[in-house]
Structure 1
Amino acid sequence: MGKTSLSKWLLALMLVLMLALAACGGDDSSDDKKDSDDKSGEKAQSEDGLFNIEDFSMTATNDGEPIEDGTLTYGIVSDTVFEGTFNFNFYSGAPDYEVIAWFDEPLFDSDANYAYTQDGAATWEVDESGKVYTLKIKDGVNWHDGEPVTAEDWLFAHEVIGHPDYVGIRYGSDFENIEGMVEYHDGEADTISGIEVVDEKTLQITFKEGGPSLTTGGIWPYALPKHIFGEMEVANMMESDAVRKNPIGFGPYKVESIVPGESVVLTKNEDYWRGEPALDQVTVKVVSPSTVVQELKTGGVDMVDSFPTDQFVDNADMENVEFLGQVDNAYTYIGFKLGKWDAEASEVVVDPNAKMADVNLRRAMWYAVDNDAVGDNFYNGLRWSASTLIIPFFPEYHNADIETPTFDPEEAKSILDEAGYKDLDGDGYRENPEGEELVINFASMSGGDTAEPIAQYYIQAWGNVGLNVQLVDGRLLEFNSFYERLEADDPAYDIFQGAWGTGTDVNPAGIFAGNSPANYPRWTNEENDQLLADGASMKAMDTEYRKEVYDQWQQLMVDNIPMFPTLYRSVIVPVNDRVVNYTLDPASELRRYQIGVTQAEPVVE
């Protein structure tokens, strides 16, 4: 074992032991942890050494004027390369999104509540039924090659995503809510009857059901340039040069060059419909979690998509950056493989004989883990124990009063005993109720210093109640491989630790609907599908009704446990002191094209 490997192993062991002490009520003294008195809101730790995301500012305080010819370097913190699927209609990984967002954008802007406004590249109107939407693209909105963005392009995006040969993950309940989409997707129709091109700039879409989700993400807001993709086979689009090598959009910057998996250089789009962007050039590059601090201190990057929260406590007083923060629209979870994805039928098929099919086993595994200790010890309060699967990012719908399993290993043991999981051969691990060896294969992603020790903590916690849990392949899986195996229903894993970004619509159908390929636990039932439909219906325009539906849905998930949330999350973004006009605040009127720098070189520590 090399010195570096040994150091990492010792760090993992130390953190696992620290969690074990915390779980047993040991002293979690924070006397050796430094307070932060930096310019980012004086985010001093509390007496127990924890931070609170509410103490962070969401907007950079630098109010200087942007210089001309400015350049900026933006880092994507990742321990793996980006996949390089640079189109909103095809991408699946967050790193690719971070690149796309610089050169393309949705046709709709959103307000502080993430509802579509009339201020973006397109406007919308709805009829009295709440089902027929008329969408109009504004004049002057052009693709980077000068061609106008048209209603045909918007229709074309729907035709591609709904096509039987589409290989992305976007098709689901939102698309099936469009009149005629199911028939088109099933190959029974050549066109989508519910979408009509009224004129060059106007599209009309008729939905089966109206409802609040339509204007918070339910209307697909991304176009696809038909003059580029129109002659391609749908099955080949994702791997085409138009996605991988020469992507275009209508956003503030244009792709100049790509080093596959590593970096993208973008230049100013002088024809941008909102006005001239403030920067001449933006470089987006992958930055390893192990080097991100050094990159920030030396000016190798001006900012990153998200700073590793496990590293924040040791770097909170970094002098050349301002740390911004907000509650994240994402959570971490433990998922159980309970079925398979039927690609031909585009639906989840639940397997009643799956290894993890017994809800008692799943409930015991939830009781066995101490997520409070994980959040406090690994993230100093910047991630915290989760309860239900509608997250605090949606305060109106998150129900903190629902009783969910919390750390109680004795309760976990009792549940397992009663369900027939007993150690019959005296090796310390329980057999299944049929008396057969039970080995639970656990898939978890690599990434940052805490990935390994957290995975090992969960394995240890489950081992403490007599469950033999082992890492798939004996190691953590890199990001792209992890999701490829989930999407393929790899039989090598039984449970997995994943993360889900909810987007800005509270509707959880994207990951839980029976017709969603992103339903990675491969679980649904009649009540789940009905509640998801009710929560997106016209009746759900009444907030109280929608809240009641989602209360029932949150309880259903606690009762059935296809997955359980482990941690709610915050986003911490360091911004170099030369950067202006940057914010995380959804209520702000600042836009990406306005981001600028006040001097030619980054401020260094």
Structure 2
Amino acid sequence: MSNTIWRKSLVLLAISVLMLAACVVQQPTVAEEGMVEEEAASTGPPQGGTLRLMGHHDAFSLSPGLGAIPSAIRPALMQIHNGLVEIDASNAVVPVLAESYDISEDGLTYTFPLREGVKFHNGADFTCKDVKYTYDFYRDPENAAPVVGVLSKIDSVECVDDYTAVINMVQVDAAFLVLGAILRIVQSDYHAEVGEEVYATAPIGTGSFKLVEWHPSQFTLLEAFDDHFRGRPYLDFLRVDVVPEASVRTIALESGDADGTAWPLLMEDNVRLANDPRFTSISQAGAGPFLIPLNNTIPQLSDKRVRQALYWGLDRQRIIDDLWFGQAQVAHSNLSPIYPDYYNPDIPRYEFDPEKAMELLDEAGWVDEDGDGVREKEGERLSFNVHVGAGNQQFIPVIELAQQLWADIGVEIFLVETPVAAILDGMRKCEMDAAMIAFEHGAIDPDPHWMMHSEGANNFPCISNPKLDALIEEGLSYASVEQRQPIYNEIQAMIMDEAPVIELFFTHWPAIFNAKVKGQSLDAVDTNRLWREIHLWYIEEE
């Protein structure tokens, strides 16, 4: 299958782009393959300066092998490495370290002619050796990389020569190009020498910025890479500070001590600053839901009737209206409505109905036998912990309201503030009862393998459902929307019926920048695309 034909298939998978006028401000000219065209120095964007961003928690790893990349560390991580391809701001798959790509007629062989003349930050030449090493390392189950699930369909990686990589698949994987081929490439000799643990703190990539300093729980500092194959970035430095409190991030923006935020402010501040001419506000529909994964293996949550009752007993529209200033929409599926080819609007919906919730709990055998307001069954209280990122002022009020509403139906929960790294690790290991997270889709494919498959890299709900696994695998075995759509309709219906997680809402991801920061562009999917193009940003001083 030619590159062109496959791209046509991908277009059918792409999401409609919802752009605000403020999304593109004086963006530099970009060639088709994403390379910046040289402009005369007298008319081009100004060179220099430090872009100061803020995240709400630390960059606990800079490894390309992360399965889920928390929002706060994306601005740094995405500048250090490049993949063979990436998804650009218009949702098109574009070659990066690859010059192009070709997919065989049977969909089992991907051929990537590689870009020559690319340098790593340590001066080493980029070749196929680095591609093979990276894929072989991160797809090896013994290395326990969270990204391993995305690479599980790979049979082998071959180097035809120094600048031609061939990836052979065991079976067709419709999502590989948009999930697997974006894996960021490491410098093979350096990684082999220092190992993954050290590499995660001191990476060497081909990206537009290189690591200068990383001070855990304080800041990450990157410097422009002069020899980047796309050309030197306009900025000299990128600094991402850890500022857990949303109110403090707002103060830093308004005082001029920061230029932007990698995590939304409090909703009232987002709305207020969006109307302040000192700032540029970029807002988009969310592709990934805010949700509460439930540990389906613990006695309190192993019965789907209990999980369904939690849906019926939670007023999600009230959360949006009272806590999010209306800047979200209730999630009636694991897929956002901005996936027009795959979103299923006909799934039965959970509305707020406490009576229905209590009927289900009674039916499941959970009864308040001692009159203390909490239901019991076989000596177990219907009580569990919900973990929230420490200091997360967006999530804590949501769980506090859920705590009140669920108490009314006899369910007791405890809010536990926990470092984000510990939440992700604990959920992957099925060591936590539940947690509130924001799960952003970084690709243009509806595949839910990461979280909803029993072998998913982020199987946070700890589910093992052979029928759902089979449907997910079947959905990946076809390329066309016509073949995949009925499968994903069934997947969505099953996920909502089984309720392994509480899908809360799809928020409008706002990003606020000082108005002097220029060059941003943003599509309708998530913040992934925003941070990928920092090499095009610049600071326009008055």
Question: TM-score, length-normalised on structure 2?
Answer: 0.86
In 1, the alpha carbon distance for the partners of 2:66 and 2:310 equals 35
1:422-458 CA-to-partner distances (Å, cap 9, x unmatched) read: 22222222222x3654323333333443433221111
In 1, the alpha carbon distance for the partners of 2:65 and 2:382 equals 41
In 1, the alpha carbon distance for the partners of 2:88 and 2:238 equals 26
Alpha-carbon deviation of 1:212?
2.9
Number of residue pairs aligned between Structure 1 and Structure 2: 504
1:546 matched to 2:484? The reply is yes
Contact 1:72–1:302 under 8 Å retained in 2: no
Contact 2:323–2:397 under 8 Å retained in 1: no
In 2, the alpha carbon distance for the partners of 1:121 and 1:299 equals 40
The one-letter amino acid paired with 1:523 is I
1:573 matched to 2:511? The reply is yes
Contact 1:337–1:354 under 8 Å retained in 2: no
Alpha-carbon deviation of 1:93?
4.1
**What's 1:362 paired with?**
307
Alpha-carbon deviation of 1:164?
4.1
Contact 1:441–1:495 under 8 Å retained in 2: yes
Alpha-carbon deviation of 1:329?
2.9
In 2, the alpha carbon distance for the partners of 1:484 and 1:213 equals 25
SS at match of 1:258: strand
**What's 1:396 paired with?**
341
**What's 1:145 paired with?**
122
**What's 1:99 paired with?**
76
Contact 1:268–1:281 under 8 Å retained in 2: yes
* Alignment CA distance shift 1:111-1:97 (3 Å): closer
* Alignment CA distance shift 1:211-1:113 (3 Å): farther
Residue correspondence of structure 1 range 442-453 to structure 2 within 5 A: 442-453=386-397
Alpha-carbon deviation of 1:328?
2.5
SS at match of 1:284: strand
Structure 1 residue corresponding to 2:204, chosen from 239, 245, 248: 248
Alpha-carbon deviation of 1:495?
3.0
SS at match of 2:387: strand
In 1, the alpha carbon distance for the partners of 2:495 and 2:317 equals 20
* Alignment CA distance shift 1:454-1:158 (3 Å): same
In 2, the alpha carbon distance for the partners of 1:231 and 1:479 equals 29
Structure 2 residue corresponding to 1:468, chosen from 412, 416, 419: 412
Structure 2 residue corresponding to 1:207, chosen from 169, 190, 203: 169
Structure 1 residue corresponding to 2:368, chosen from 411, 423, 439: 423
**What's 1:348 paired with?**
none
The one-letter amino acid paired with 2:204 is I
In 1, the alpha carbon distance for the partners of 2:222 and 2:435 equals 36
In 1, the alpha carbon distance for the partners of 2:381 and 2:78 equals 49
1:61 matched to 2:25? The reply is yes
Q: Which moved more, 1:277-286 or 1:115-124?
A: 115-124
* Alignment CA distance shift 1:363-1:63 (3 Å): closer
1:360-403 CA-to-partner distances (Å, cap 9, x unmatched) read: 11111110001111012111122221111122342221112211
1:177 matched to 2:163? The reply is no
The one-letter amino acid paired with 1:558 is M
| RMSD, aligned α-carbons | 2.6
Alpha-carbon deviation of 1:81?
2.8
**What's 1:130 paired with?**
107
In 1, the alpha carbon distance for the partners of 2:533 and 2:412 equals 50
* Alignment CA distance shift 1:227-1:120 (3 Å): closer
Q: What are the ranges of 5 or more consecutive residues in structure 2 without an aligned counterpart?
A: 1-16, 29-42
1:17-36 CA-to-partner distances (Å, cap 9, x unmatched) read: xxxxxxxxxxxxxxxxxxxx
Structure 1 residue corresponding to 2:239, chosen from 272, 283, 286: 283
* Alignment CA distance shift 1:309-1:584 (3 Å): farther
Structure 2 residue corresponding to 1:372, chosen from 296, 306, 317: 317
Alpha-carbon deviation of 1:354?
3.3
Structure 1 residue corresponding to 2:276, chosen from 318, 340, 355: 318
Structure 2 residue corresponding to 1:70, chosen from 48, 54, 71: 48
Q: What are the ranges of 5 or more consecutive residues in structure 1 without an aligned counterpart?
A: 1-52, 180-193, 340-352
In 1, the alpha carbon distance for the partners of 2:394 and 2:224 equals 38
1:166 matched to 2:143? The reply is yes
Alpha-carbon deviation of 1:116?
2.3
Alpha-carbon deviation of 1:528?
0.8
The one-letter amino acid paired with 1:469 is I
1:272 matched to 2:228? The reply is yes
Q: Which moved more, 1:59-68 or 1:204-213?
A: 59-68
SS at match of 1:231: helix
SS at match of 1:230: helix
In 2, the alpha carbon distance for the partners of 1:327 and 1:77 equals 20
Structure 2 residue corresponding to 1:563, chosen from 488, 501, 507: 501
SS at match of 1:330: coil
1:250-295 CA-to-partner distances (Å, cap 9, x unmatched) read: 1112222232332222222121111232122222222331211121
* Alignment CA distance shift 1:524-1:442 (3 Å): same
Question: TM-score, length-normalised on structure 1?
Answer: 0.78
**What's 1:259 paired with?**
215
Alpha-carbon deviation of 1:115?
4.5
**What's 2:435 paired with?**
496
**What's 2:538 paired with?**
596
**What's 2:428 paired with?**
487
Contact 1:356–1:362 under 8 Å retained in 2: yes
Alpha-carbon deviation of 1:208?
2.0
**What's 2:453 paired with?**
513
